[in-house]
Chains A and B, each alone.
Chain A
Amino acid sequence: MTAAPINHTPRFIVDVVPAQCEPRYGIKVPIGKSGEAMSVAIRTERLIEETAAVARVESGMTLAIGEPAPAALIRQIIRRGIRDLTVVGSGLALDLLIAGGCVRKTISYYAGGGVRVAVAPMFRRAAERGEINVWECDEGILTSGLEAAGKGLPFMPWRGGVGTSLPEINPDLKLFQDPIRGETLLAVPAIKVDVALLHASLADVYGNVQHRGGPGWIDLFLQRAATYCIVQVEKIVPNEQIRADPWATTIGRADAVVRLPWGAHPWYSRGWYIQDTPWLSQYVSAATAAADRDEPAALQSLLTEYCRQPQSHAEYLARIGLPRLLALHEY
C-alpha cells in the first residue's frame, strides 16, 4: 500500500520572462542580446518537503500547534520519536502527541476534546500520574504571554485570572500593582516558541499564507511568538494570486510552507473539509481504554497504523482511503 509522493506544483521562475516584458515586482531580470535571461537573482523559495519541515523540530524544544491542527506534521513528529517537547496546544491534537510519547510539558488552556469528550483521555492520565507538567493558563493568559514574546517584552499585563487560583498553581504568573493606576494585575511572562506548526488553506512558494475562512483563533499569536514558523497548506498558489488581495494574507513571511493537501485530517480545514468524526471517535475510545483501563492495545495499533508506519503523508491518505476523504469534502 504505497502511494506516490505528492509532487509540488510547477514553479513560475523568472527565466521564462520574455525580453519585451517589463521586469515586474521589483525583480531585476537582466536580459542579454539574444533575449535570454543572463544572470538572474532568484528570490528564495520557502516551499519545503514534509520531512525537511519536521527535521526542524528537535526533542526538548517548545513546539506550538495551531488550530485546526497541523495533523500531518504532528504524525511525522510521532513517527520520528521526538520526545520531551513543551507543547503549546490544545484538544485531541495535544492528546495525540501525548499518546505518541512526545510531550514533557503542556502550555494548554484547554485539554478537552469538545462535545462528548470532557477531558482528553491521555492528557488526563499523564497529568494525574505526573508524567507531564501542566503550565496552567487560559486563552487570555496564553495570548498575553505569546504577545509578550512577539513584542520582545518580559511580560504582558492581563486582568483575566486575577482572583483565581492560577497564580498559585502556576508560579510563573505574578500578581503586581500596576504603576499607572495601582490596580492588581497579572504579569504573564513571555512564552517563547521554538517552532510553530500551523495549518492553512493557501500559500505561495515565498511563504505568503492566506487562510480561507479565517485563521484559527490562536495561529497568528503563535506565528508572532515563534522563532521559526512552518505552515502546512492545502494548496500552493501562484504568487500573482496572493498579490491580487494582499489584505487576505494572514501570515506574510512564514519561514517555511509545506504542501499537504488533506493535511489537517482527521480534523477540519475551513473551506475544504470537515472533521472525520468516526476516526476521532475511534481515537477517543482507544485512548480512553488506554488511559482509564490500562488497555493500550487499540491505541498502539492506531498509532502504528496511522502515525508510525506511513512513510509519507500520501501513504497516510492511502490508508484513510479516497471514499472516506471524499465523504468529508464539504464545508
Chain B
Amino acid sequence: MSLSYSIPEMLACLLAADLRDGEELQVGVALPIPEAAVRLAHLMHGPNMELIFLGARMNVHHLEQIPMPAFGWDCRVVRWAESFSDRGHRFDQVKDWGRRVFFVGGIQVDPYGNTNLIGVGDQYTRLKFRGPGAVGTPSLTTHVGRYYIVLNSHTPRTFVPRCDFISSVGWGDGGPEGRSRLGLPGGGPKYCLTPLCVMDFTETEKRLRLVSLHPGVTLEQVRAQTGFELVVPPWIPITSPPCAEALRILRTRVDLAGALRT
C-alpha cells in the first residue's frame, strides 16, 4: 500500500530523523515544520530531548499527545514545562549552547545560507516589504551547535544572490572559515529545506548544494526557481518518503489539526 502524504509532512519526518536524543531543540513561532519535527522526534526517539518553546524548557516524552499551536502566541504549548530556561536571564549561558539546535525561516536566503527577516528593498528606510524583524535569530544562530533553514516558498525572490539585509549569518562570505572569521562560535546551518528540495552546504565553499528533489520536482524546476547557481551533484536522489510509523505518530499525536496538510 502506498502512503499519501503532504510535502510538509515529509519534511517534518525527515527533519525529525536528523535530530538526536539528548539534544535541546529550540523553535520560535510560526515555523510549523520544525514545530512538528521536534515533537515527533521527542515522541519517537528522543526521551532525553528538551524542547524549548517560549522560554520554557520541557521534556514531555511521556505525553500521549504534544499538539501544535494553532494561532498567535499560545501559552498552552508550554504546559508541563519543568523550568523556564532563563528565569529572566535568557542568553546568560550561551557558552553551553553547543548542544542546542535551532531553526530559522527567512524572506531571503543567499548562496552561503545567510538569511533575512528584516525586509526587502534597496534602502532600509524605504522597504518594499517590511518583515517581522530578527526575533532572536542573530543571537541564536551565532551560538547554537547547528541550525536548519526551513522555508515555505522556493522562488527566485527568496533565493537571491545577495540578501538585501542579513539578519542571521550562515557561512558569511563562504568557506569553512566563513563563521570563525567573524568569531561566531556556533556550528552554522546544516540543511536548507524548501517545498521543492533539500539542500546542504559544500565542504570547501560552503555554498548551497542540492541533496534531494521532492517527488515530482525536476532539477530544471529547482534551477528556474533559484536566483543563483546551485551546486548540483552528479547523482540526485528523491527525498525519502516518511515511514508509516512516523506518519501515524505525526498525525495522531502531534499535528492533530492537520496544519501540515493544508
Contacts and interface: CB of A to CB of B under 8 A. Distances in A.
Nearest to B124: A169
Given A114-B73, A128-B127, A281-B71, 9 more contacts: A112-B133, A115-B74, A116-B30, A117-B72, A136-B118, A140-B136, A140-B138, A140-B139, A280-B72
Nearest to B105: A118
B118 to A, nearest CB: 6
Interface in B62-78: 69-76
A113 B167 CA distance: 19
Interface of A: 68, 91-92, 108-120, 123-124, 127-128, 130, 134, 136-141, 143-144, 158-166, 168-169, 183-185, 214-221, 250, 267-268, 270, 274-275, 277, 280-281, 331
B172 interface: yes
A75 B135 CA distance: 25
A111 B130 CA distance: 10
A184 B182 contact: yes
Contacts of B124: 168-169
A159 B184 contact: yes
Contact of B135 (A113, A138, A144, A250): A138
A114 to B, nearest CB: 4
A281 B73 CA distance: 12
Contact of A136 (B29, B134, B136, B169): B134
Which of A134, A137, A164 has the most C-beta atoms of chain B within 10 angstroms of its own C-beta?
Answer: A164
7 contacts: A112-B29, A115-B72, A119-B131, A141-B139, A164-B165, A217-B90, A277-B71
Nearest to A120: B132
Interface residues of B, number: 56
Chain B interface mostly? loop
B56 interface: yes
B118 A169 contact: yes
Contacts of B179: 163
Nearest to A277: B71
Contact of A160 (B69, B70, B138, B172): B138
A140 B142 CA distance: 10
Interface stretch (B8-16, B81-89, B207-215): B81-89
B247 interface: no
Nearest to B28: A110
B166 interface: yes
A126 B90 CA distance: 30
B128 A109 contact: no
B167 A159 contact: no
A130 B139 contact: no
Interface string B80-100: 000010111111000000000
A217 B56 CA distance: 9
A163 B140 CA distance: 13
A113 B73 contact: yes
A123 B116 CA distance: 18
A143 B124 CA distance: 23
Chain A interface mostly? loop
Nearest to A184: B183
A164 to B, nearest CB: 5
Which of A134, A137, A138, A277 has the most C-beta atoms of chain B within 10 angstroms of its own C-beta?
Answer: A138
A248 to B, nearest CB: 11
A110 B70 contact: no
Contact of B183 (A120, A134, A159, A166): A159
Contact of A277 (B30, B32, B70, B134): B70
Pick the 10 closest A-B CB pairs, nearest first: A140-B139, A160-B139, A220-B88, A112-B132, A139-B136, A217-B55, A138-B134, A163-B182, A114-B73, A165-B165
Given A143-B91, A166-B138, A217-B90, A115 B130 contact: no
Which of A165, A184, A275, A281 has the most C-beta atoms of chain B within 10 angstroms of its own C-beta?
Answer: A165
Interface in B105-147: 116, 118-119, 124-140, 142-143
Contact of A91 (B73, B79, B128, B184): B73
B118 A275 contact: no
Contact of B142 (A116, A120, A137, A159): A159
Interface string B27-43: 00110100000000000
Contact of A161 (B89, B131, B139): B139
Contacts of A220: 88-89
Contact of A92 (B72, B129, B163, B169): B72
Interface in B163-185: 163, 165-169, 172, 179, 182-185
B54 interface: yes
Given A92-B72, A274-B75, A275-B75, A164 B56 contact: no
Given A127-B127, A140-B91, A110 B72 contact: no
A110 B168 contact: no
Contacts of B172: 163
Contacts of A113: 72-73
A209 to B, nearest CB: 12
Contacts of A277: 70-72, 74
